C-alpha cells in the first residue's frame, strides 16, 4: 500500500478578512441600534443582565460577540470568544456557510432550514438575537439587498427608515 499525501484545504484569507470586517461592522451596529431603536432595546431588556451572545463560523471563527452589561447597556465585545463568558453561541457549520449568509445569498431562516446554523443556549434568546440581527440588517443594507438577507422586509415609518438609519450608521462608524 502506498502512502497518500493528505490534501489540506486552503486558508481562504480573503473570505476571513471579509467576514471579519462584516462581523465587526454588524456587532457595532447592534450596539448602535440598541441605543436608537426601541424594538431592539426591548429585545435586550428581556435578556438577563451580563448576557453575552456570539455569532460566527465553527470551529475557528471569525466571531462577533455582543453582550449586555449589569447596567443594561449593549456592547460589542470584539471577536475573541475565549475572553468572554458566552451564554448563547450561534454558529454556522463552516466558513463557507457564514460567507453565503453574509454575502446575502441566503437568509438566516433559510440557513436554519438547511441545517447550517446551530445554537448552544436558550432558544427564546436565540430567536430574540435573530430578530435583532434582522433589524440591524434592515438598517445597514439597501432595500433590494435587505430583502435577500431577511425573511420579511418590515413596513416602517419614514422617520425610522431615514433618521434612525442615519443615526445607526453614524453611531456604528463613530462607535458610541
- The pLDDT, as a whole number, for residue 98 is 92
- The pLDDT, as a whole number, for residue 51 is 92
Task: Give the separation between CA 128 and CA 123, rounded to whole angstroms.
Answer: 9
Q: What percent of the chain has pLDDT over 90?
A: 61
Do the Cβ atoms of 76 and 66 come closer than 8 Å? yes
Residue 10 has pLDDT above 80, yes or no: no
Write down the domain spans for the chain: 13-174
Number of CB atoms found within 10 A of residue 117's CB: 21
Do the Cβ atoms of 59 and 92 come closer than 8 Å? no
**pLDDT tens for each residue of 52-90:** 999 999 888 799 999 999 898 999 998 888 889 999 999
Residue that is written with C-alpha cell 445569498 in the block? 105
- pTM for this prediction: 0.87
CATH number of 13-174: 3.30.1050.10
pLDDT category, 1, cuts 50, 70, 90?
Answer: low
pLDDT category, 151, cuts 50, 70, 90?
Answer: confident
Residue 7 has pLDDT above 80, yes or no: no
- The average pLDDT across 4-27 equals 87
pLDDT category, 43, cuts 50, 70, 90?
Answer: very high
Residue 41 has pLDDT above 90, yes or no: yes
pLDDT category, 119, cuts 50, 70, 90?
Answer: very high
Number of CB atoms found within 10 A of residue 135's CB: 22
Amino acid at each position: 500500500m502506498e502512502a497518500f499525501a493528505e490534501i489540506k484545504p486552503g486558508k481562504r484569507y480573503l473570505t476571513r478578512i471579509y467576514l471579519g470586517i462584516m462581523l465587526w461592522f454588524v456587532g457595532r451596529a447592534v450596539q448602535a441600534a440598541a441605543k436608537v431603536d426601541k424594538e431592539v432595546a426591548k429585545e435586550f431588556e428581556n435578556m438577563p443582565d451580563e448576557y453575552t451572545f456570539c455569532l460566527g463560523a465553527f470551529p475557528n471563527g471569525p466571531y462577533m460577540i455582543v453582550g449586555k452589561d449589569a447596567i443594561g447597556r449593549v456592547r460589542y465585545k470584539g471577536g475573541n470568544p475565549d475572553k468572554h463568558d458566552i451564554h448563547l453561541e450561534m454558529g454556522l457549520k463552516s466558513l463557507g456557510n457564514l460567507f453565503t449568509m453574509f454575502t446575502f445569498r441566503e437568509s438566516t431562516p433559510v440557513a436554519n432550514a438547511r441545517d447550517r446554523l446551530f445554537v448552544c443556549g436558550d432558544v427564546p434568546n436565540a430567536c430574540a438575537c435573530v430578530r435583532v440581527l434582522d433589524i440591524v440588517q434592515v438598517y445597514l443594507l439597501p432595500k433590494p439587498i435587505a430583502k435577500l438577507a431577511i425573511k420579511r422586509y418590515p413596513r416602517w415609518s419614514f422617520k425610522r427608515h431615514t433618521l434612525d438609519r442615519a443615526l445607526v450608521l453614524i453611531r456604528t462608524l463613530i462607535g458610541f
